[in-house]
Structure 1
Amino acid sequence: MKSADTKARRGLLVILSSPSGAGKSTLARRLRNWDNSIVFSVSATTRQPRRGEVDGQDYHFLAENDFKAQVARGEMLEHAHVFGNFYGSPRQPVQEAIDSGKDVLFDIDWQGAQQIRNSALGQHTLSIFLLPPSIAELRRRLEERGQDKPEVIKRRMLKSWDEISHWDGYDFVLVNDDLGATEARLKTIIQAIRLRRIQRPDLTDHVRALQQEFEELS
């Protein structure tokens, strides 16, 4: 699907959060396939590039001093220190994207979501939390993926409740008990929030034109 009327609206910062195994990555891919005006946020990091990773495409790779300087200048929408490295979301490319009518998709946790909501672009944020139908189902999905060793799955399960406990800090919360139904609900939410007055800078000019037309008829 090609998004219509992107020039007539301002883009959204769409935050998707969930515990690992709740379907977030799959739904993010489906949203991108549905609408090409939705782009992924490319994070910045101080860790070293892995084999095959491309600077500016997979991550923006920064020296630690440069990263900290950008944070100090307010150039990161959110940032965190994880396993000895810094990660963050640069503001400028996000600003440019939403100004051109593109929605920027963030796959971040509740702390990053809170920072973005409190940032200069917070008014354009749409945050959505995905809940699993049950803890047993969450474990089953992690095991069926076949990507992690049992000890990794155990760590993910232990972390999941901390993530779920922050569900009430989001604009929308969906129980992902059916992937197709959840995808449909996500699309409905995004389409509705795109119509908020603050996302439609074109409306000011339209109302002015109506006013001028009214005055000419008077």
Structure 2
Amino acid sequence: MKGKLIIFSAPSGTGKTTIVRHLLAKGFDLEFSISATSRQPRHTETHGKDYYFLTAEEFAKKVENEEFLEWEEVYKGTSYGTLKSEVERIRNNGKHVIFDVDVVGGLNIKKYYGDEALAVFVQPPSVEELRNRLTGRSTETEEKIAMRIAKAEHELSFAPKFDVVIVNDDLERAFVEAEKIIADFLNK
């Protein structure tokens, strides 16, 4: 039996990656779908673990060959996408695929897989709290943070299009809520 798909999307800095990592540690027979990106790795990231880091040319070639389930130029010159081969490799092994993707990508995957997928939107308690979280990371310039905040304000308008919304105002509570939502979906 092919695995189901669980999509986590959110503006940058909302805690979606932390929630996804928590769920992976809880079992559920999940395997992380590693996205591809044309951006440079951050000092804490590893190719093939955090992302498949591709040059802009490699990324464009895969787009041309229709190797992506979804992809988007998230920021000028920086694209992210989900390789079809990555998703099907996991599903064919009987595991459930868990995604940590941007909002547009998440909705595209949900549209493609329909009821086989659960789309979860993680929402920050406020835009101001989101700004504090991004600043606290110390991984980006003020200009990049301002870009992320502007994008986040737009992405928040997509929340109603998702199957379920988790407001991450308390991480432990968000963990518990995510576990229950995933267990219910996988047991359907």
Q: TM-score under structure 1 normalisation?
A: 0.72
Sort the Cα spacing of 1:39 and 1:154 in 2 relative to 1 into closer, same or farther, 3 A: same
SS of alignment partner, residue 145 of structure 2: helix
Instruction: Give the corresponding residue for 2:86.
Output: 93
Aligned residues: 184
The answer on 1:129 being equivalent to 2:129 is no
Give per-residue Cα distances to partners, 1:45-81, cap 9 Å, x unaligned.
456889985468741747356413431xxx4211123
Give 3-state SS (helix, strand or coil) of 1:166's partner.
helix
Aligned ranges 1:1-218 → 2 under 5 Å: 10-35=2-27, 37-45=29-37, 53-54=46-47, 58-59=51-52, 61=54, 63-64=58-59, 66-71=61-66, 75-82=67-74, 83-84=76-77, 86-119=79-112, 121-196=113-188
Q: Is the 8 A contact 2:34 2:48 kept in 1?
A: no
Would the alpha carbon gap of residues 21 and 53 (structure 1) be closer, same or farther in structure 2, given more than 3 Å must change? closer
Instruction: Name the SS for the 2:65 alignment partner.
Output: helix
Secondary structure at the aligned position of 1:148 is classed as: coil
CA RMSD of superposed structures (Å): 2.8
Q: Is the 8 A contact 1:11 1:194 kept in 2?
A: no
Contact 2:5 2:96 in 1 (8 A): yes
- The 1-side partners of 2:93 and 2:48 are apart by 23
The one-letter amino acid paired with 1:150 is: E
Identity of aligned residues (%): 35
Q: Deviations over 1:16-55 (max 9, x none)?
A: 1112221112111111111172222122345688998546
- Select between 123-132 and 90-99 the one with higher mean Cα deviation: 90-99
- SS class of match (2:187): coil
In structure 2, list runs of 5 or more residues that go unmatched: none
CA distance in 1, matches of 2:50, 2:126: 35
